[in-house]
Structure formats: C-alpha cells, structure tokens
Amino acid sequence: MIEAKDLVKRYGPHTAVDHATFKIERGEIVGFLGPNGAGKTTTMNMLTGYLSCTEGTVTVDGMNILEHPLEVKKRIGYLPENPPLYPEMTVREYLQFAGEIKKVPKQELPKRIDEVMQTVGITDVAGRLVRNLSKGYKQRVGLAQAMIGKPDILILDEPTAGLDPKQILEIRQLIKDLGKSHTVILSSHILPEVSAVCKRVLIINQGKIVADDTPENLAKRLLGGSHLLLRIDGTPQQIESATRKVENVRNLSFKESQEPGTVEVVVESDKDKDIRRDVSKALGAAGLPILMMRSLDMTLEEIFLHLTTKEEEVAKV
Amino acid sequence: MMSILKRELKSYFLTPIGYIYMGFFLLVAGVFFTFGNLITRSSQYTGFLGGILFIYLFAVPLLTMRLFSEEKRQRTDQLLLTSPISIPEVVLGKFLAAFTVYLITLVITVMYALVVGIYGDLSFWETLGAYIGFIFLGASYIAVGVFVSAGTENQLTSALVSFFSLLMIWLIDPISNSLPVDLTAGIIFAALLVVALCGYIYLNTKNLYITAAVFLLGAIIIAASYFIDKVVFIGFMRKFFSWFSLNKRYENFSMGLLKVDSLVYYLSFTGLFLFLTVRLLEKQRWV
C-alpha cells in the first residue's frame, strides 16, 4: 500500500531522516514513536509529498510520489501537527474549500461535508469561525479535512498533542474507528497512546528506524527472560544457597533494600517459565520469609527509553 | 484553480486587508483627483492617471503581501501542497485573486473619468489607452509581489521587500541613464552576467562540467558578437536594465498608443515572475 525505501532527508550537514525503510499494508494502524526531533514529522512530510526526500523513494499503490504526485496525494489524507486551518473561515466554508481542492465531485460535496462532520463530531460548530474554536475542535476540523477526500491512507502527526485527557480519549477512539476502514499512520511521543491504538510500532530515533514490531512483541524481544523482584528477610549467602537448586533460575542480582535487615534480589529465569511457586517453596523450606514478590515486566515506556538511549544494546538484541 | 481563486477572493474581504487596500487606494486617488482636477478645474485626466501609477507603488505590496507568507505562517501551505492540486494552479489562483481585487478597484476610478467627460473635455483614446496599460502594468506589479510573498514568512517583510523591488523598477530609468554606454563597459558587463549565471548554475547543480560548458558558451557568444558586430555592446548595460523598466512602456499607453510589443512585454514579465514563483515554491520543498 505505502512503501518507503531508503528515505533520506538532509538539511545541510544535518541528517533528519537516515535511510528509513518500511512497508505498510492496507488496513494497518501504525504508530511512529520517537522523542521530539527524531524525524517523525519529516518522515510524514515526505510520505505526503510536502517535502521532497534527498534520497530514496516513496511509493503508494505502486506509484512513485515524484512521478505521479497528484494521484498519490488523492490517496492520502494528512493532518499535520498544527492543523492547517484558515481562521477567517467558518468550519463549513473551510471543509467546502478542502473538499474542492481534494477533487470531491461537486454534487457529492455537501453530503460528504455532513458525513465527515458527523464522524468527527463537529456538526454543532459548522457555522462558527475556525478562529473561535477550542484546540480540541480545531484538531477535529483538521481531521475532517484529512478525511474529506475519501483517502485510503490517513497520516496523522501527533493527533492528540495539546488536548485535554477527555478529548484525547475521544480522538483515540475516533482513530480506532477510522482504522477499520483506512490505513492509519500516526506519530506520537506518548507511549500509552501508541500501545492503545496501534497494532504495529516503528520506533524512530535520530532519523533511524530502530525497531519495527507489535507492542507486545517489542516487550518480549527486549526482556530476554522473565524477572522477579523479591524482598527477603535473610542474607545473600542464605538466599543463594536456597535458590541454587530451583529449576530454570539463571541469575541472581542483589540490591540494597530500604528495609533494614532485608535483602532485595532480582531473580532472572528462562523465557516463558513461571518460577514463582518453586522459588517460594525453596525459600520457605530454607526458613527465609518472603516479604514482597513482584514480576518485572518491561513497560513500553522502558523499552522506548532503552531503545532510544542505548543503541548498542539494541544492536545486541 | 477556481477554488483557490474563490477562497483567496473571499479571504480578501473576510480579513481587513481587502478593505485596507481599497480604502487606501481610493482615498489617495480621491485626494489626487480633488486637488488635481476638481479644485483646479482641469480636465487633464492623464495627469491624474500618472498619479495613480505612483499610488500602486505603495498599494500593490499591500495587496500581495499575505498571499503566500500568511499560508506559511499559518502552515496552511501544508494543506495546499499535500492536496491533489498542482503548484502552478495555486500560484495562478492567488495571482488572479489579487488581480481581480486590483481590477475592481481600478474600475471604481472610471467614475472620475465620467465626471471629467461630463463636465469637461476627456481625451477618450488616451484615457482608454491608459486604462488598458494599467491592466497589464498592474499584472506585472502583482506578479512581482506574488513572487516576493512566496519567499517570505512574514507579511511585513513581504510588503517591504515588494515595495523596494517596485521602487527599484521605478528607479531603473534614471539609474540606467547615468550608466556608461561605451564598448568596454558593455563587454565587461556581458562578462559579469556570464560569470553570475555560471555561479548560479554551480550553486544549484554543483556540477563543474555544466558550469564550465556554460562559461565557455558565454565566452564564445561574447567573442562572436564582438567580431561580428561591435555595436551590440554599445549601451548594452542600459538596454539590459531598461528591460526591467515597467513604467517606460506604460508611457506609450497613456499617449493612446496600443503597441503589441508592450503588451507582449508585460505578459512575458508577468509570466516570468509567476514561473519564478512556482520554481521558488518547488525549491522550498527540497531545502
């Protein structure tokens, strides 16, 4: 559906996007995740034809964006980070204009405007000036603009930035609904958002794609094995001798505990093996009371930090 | 293109700028007419029209300043450039919108001509010629303004740069009259032009071979023209600059002369600047 091959964007000596290659199939909801300035917006601007790429190609439905710009642009609806609105127009006038330049047939346009306004929930502000709308409504008008030409692909740059929590939930739900009938690419630097909405995540850092997978797989891939955090009343030596015989335990690492007289230990086990019962029995048999036990699963947040701060480790994984 | 034209036209009158332009132009034109014709009881209408030319120097930048700079500031250019609409369409739509407002305002001044015609002697053909001249001259002025606007993100900068550009075009006649006209000056100037062209090509393509080829070609042309007909270089600099002098050709119109070459000149001047605007906008996508 949409394919980017070796995309490069250079601004003088600075490389904003560095050989990004990915392929997005029809019906996918894909999230671009990365810190600010990672190259998410630049990548999106190149996918939509707003910026030209220094090297590489973008093809949509097999058509190169440089060779068939108008055909490609017809298939893409774009909501940039700042919705491109004309403050002096009313919402309906604005959508009328957007529909016209997106080549919606004249007879269908009034009906189409009503449809998209219904979908994004802005029917009640149709006659108001864009200037006077709240940020949330502006975002929705921007979304309506992106949808009006019935594109197959929606590209949304930080669609929830600057909204209040209630609006964020509403927009997320809207994007999920849109994902049933569109291919959606969205960018965000907020992780829960991406894991809530997207089925696939591309993590971008310093212009490079450092990971491309489902949110769950990313978590598994990085974890290697499972980790348990325990707080035990005993000494490291006692704990070590007690857990040595337990099956599947790979490694122990001791930490300082906040509670005097106790020890905290992270027990690493083989992948997909539940060792909680065995560890508990072994420690109980050795007379070492367990004061706390919890599994350490990496959240997407931690993965994200992991991937974007330590690139060497990613290479190892 | 029609939708761009329509939106742009609407926007002139939904924002103050359309009224500011019309108000400013009509106010100053009214003052000129009152003091130049009414109070002095003069039916010299072409004198009034010459004054209008001067108002455009200030008014046209007001008309064109926001066309592209405001799109960039509001980031609405992202909508235009990611929609299935080509850049030439956008440029032409915006140009025609500004041109329409220009024409509407110009038509209002016909009222003054009627007043002169009713109460005095109106030299009909000269007036008609002057108005036709205004249509073409205005298009050229606006094209310059559109081009400048595409290069800026700020309305004020856009207006000021357009104003100074138009001022330079105004001053070309007096400046070029004082330029040296002898053979050496002409050759040196032609050589400088070739060097400038080569510099431009090199900066854009970073290709030494093309640059060298163009340089060689330029040198051959200069040498050939020198040996074939030296006269070409006499007053070359003056001829070159006076190509940019929009107002000189306008004088023909206000004398009632309708010259095809002047019309072609204005149209190609307008076309050149609109083409440059398209190129500039396309180039900005590569930066």
DSSP string, A117-142: HHHHT-GGGTTSBGGGS-HHHHHHHH
How distant is the Cα of B260 from the closest Cα of chain A, in angstroms? 37
Q: What is the pLDDT along chain B (287 residues), one digit of tens a residue?
A: 889 999 999 999 988 999 999 999 999 999 998 888 888 887 778 788 888 888 888 999 999 999 999 999 989 999 999 999 999 999 999 999 999 999 999 999 888 888 888 888 888 888 888 888 889 999 999 999 999 999 998 999 999 999 999 998 888 877 777 777 777 888 888 888 888 888 888 887 777 888 888 888 888 888 888 888 777 777 777 777 777 777 777 877 777 777 888 888 899 999 999 999 999 998 888 76
CA-closest candidate to residue A203, choices A215, A221, A220: A215
Contacts of A80 in chain B (CB under 8 A): 75, 78
Check residue A306 and give its pLDDT: 63
Please judge whether A73 and B286 are an interchain contact, meaning their C-beta atoms are less than 8 angstroms apart.
no
pLDDT one-digit tens code per residue, A16-44: 888 889 999 888 899 998 877 888 899 99
How distant is the Cα of B211 from the closest Cα of chain A, in angstroms? 22
Closest by Cβ to B3, choosing from A84, A87, A101? A101
Give the DSSP letter string of chain B.
Answer: -HHHHHHHHHHHHHSHHHHHHHHHHHHHHHHHHIIIIITTT---HHHHHHHHHHHHHHHHHHHHTTTTHHHHHHTTHHHHHTSS--HHHHHHHHHHHHHHHHHHHHHHTHHHHHHHHHHS---HHHHHHHHHHHHHHHHHHHHHHHHHHHT-S-HHHHHHHHHHHHHHHHHHHHHHHTS--SHHHHHHHHHHHHHHHHHHHHHHH--HHHHHHHHHHHHHHHHHHHHH-GGGGTTHHHHHHHTT-HHHHHHHHHTT---HHHHHHHHHHHHHHHHHHHHHHHHHTT-
Would you tell me how many other CB atoms lie within 10 Å of the CB of residue B284? Answer: 16
Higher model confidence: residue B103 or residue A305?
A: B103
Q: Say how many CB pairs under 8 Å bridge A and B.
A: 70
Which has the minimum average pLDDT: A151-160, A285-294, A305-314? A305-314
Please judge whether B78 and A80 are an interchain contact, meaning their C-beta atoms are less than 8 angstroms apart.
yes
CA-closest candidate to residue A15, choices A40, A41, A35, A39: A39
pLDDT one-digit tens code per residue, A41-73: 999 999 998 988 888 899 998 899 888 889 999
Higher model confidence: residue A207 or residue A91?
A: A91
- Looking up tokens 């008609």 gives B128
Closest by Cβ to B285, choosing from A50, A70, A76? A50
Question: Is residue B206 within 8 angstroms of chain A, CB to CB?
Answer: no
Mean of pLDDT values over A162-179 = 85
Please judge whether B287 and A85 are an interchain contact, meaning their C-beta atoms are less than 8 angstroms apart.
no
Question: Is residue B77 within 8 angstroms of chain A, CB to CB?
Answer: yes
Please judge whether A50 and B286 are an interchain contact, meaning their C-beta atoms are less than 8 angstroms apart.
no
Sequence-distant contacts of B159-162: CB under 8 A, at least 24 apart: B159/B61, B159/B62, B159/B65, B160/B61, B162/B60, B162/B61, B162/B64, B162/B65
Contact A211, A218 (CB under 8 A): yes
Q: What is d(CA B55, CA B35) in angstroms, rounded to the nearest whole number? A: 15
What is the distance of C-alpha B51 from the center of its chain?
A: 17
User: Which residues pair with residue A63 across a beta bridge?
Assistant: A60
Within 4-23 of B, beta carbons closer than 8 Å to A belong to: 4, 6-7, 10-11, 14-15
Q: Which two tokens stand for residue A55?
A: 């090297």
Vertex A1, ends A202 and A108: CA angle to 5°?
115
Contacts of A48 in chain B (CB under 8 A): 82
Check residue A304 and give its pLDDT: 66
* Complex prediction ipTM: 0.82
Selected for mutation to probe chain A from B14, B78, B92, B286 (highest A CB count within 10 Å) is B78
Q: What is d(CA A34, CA A187) in angstroms, rounded to the nearest whole number? A: 8
Please judge whether A50 and B3 are an interchain contact, meaning their C-beta atoms are less than 8 angstroms apart.
no
Confidence check: pLDDT of A312 > 70: no
Closest by Cβ to A78, choosing from B14, B82, B86? B82
What is the distance of C-alpha A82 from the center of its chain?
A: 19
Give the DSSP letter string of B81-120.
Answer: HTSS--HHHHHHHHHHHHHHHHHHHHHHTHHHHHHHHHHS
Q: What is d(CA A89, CA A104) in angstroms, rounded to the nearest whole number? A: 19
What is the distance of C-alpha A216 from the center of its chain?
A: 12
Check residue A300 and give its pLDDT: 58
State the average pLDDT for chain A: 84
pLDDT one-digit tens code per residue, A149-168: 989 999 999 888 778 888 88
Q: Nearest-CA residue of chain A relative to B89?
A: A101
Largest separation between any pair of C-alpha atoms in chain A: 82
Q: What is d(CA B98, CA B4) in angstroms, rounded to the nearest whole number? A: 11
SS3 A191: helix
Packed helices A109-120 and A135-147: angle between N→C axes, nearest 10 degrees: 140
Contacts of A14 in chain B (CB under 8 A): none
Neighbouring residues of A283: CB distance < 8 A, sequence distance ≥ 6: A230, A232, A239, A242, A243, A289, A290
Please judge whether B75 and A101 are an interchain contact, meaning their C-beta atoms are less than 8 angstroms apart.
no
Mean of pLDDT values over A289-305 = 72
Q: What is d(CA A233, CA A265) in angstroms, rounded to the nearest whole number? A: 11
Check residue B84 and give its pLDDT: 92
Neighbouring residues of B141: CB distance < 8 A, sequence distance ≥ 6: B56, B60, B166, B246
Check residue B145 and give its pLDDT: 94
Contact A8, A52 (CB under 8 A): no
Contact B79, A84 (CB under 8 A): yes
Neighbouring residues of A292: CB distance < 8 A, sequence distance ≥ 6: A229, A230, A231
Check residue A285 and give its pLDDT: 86
How distant is the Cα of A8 from the closest Cα of chain B, in angstroms? 12
Contacts of A98 in chain B (CB under 8 A): 79, 83
Selected for mutation to probe chain B from A88, A89, A101, A143 (highest B CB count within 10 Å) is A101
Q: What is d(CA B56, CA A192) in angstroms, rounded to the nearest whole number? A: 57
Q: What is d(CA B233, CA B245) in angstroms, rounded to the nearest whole number? A: 19
Vertex A204, ends A203 and A208: CA angle to 5°?
130
Question: Is residue A254 within 8 angstroms of chain B, CB to CB?
Answer: no
Check residue A257 and give its pLDDT: 78
Q: What is d(CA A201, CA A183) in angstroms, rounded to the nearest whole number? A: 14
- In the Cβ-directed half-sphere of A200, how many Cα atoms lie within 13 Å? 16
Selected for mutation to probe chain B from A41, A79, A86, A104 (highest B CB count within 10 Å) is A86
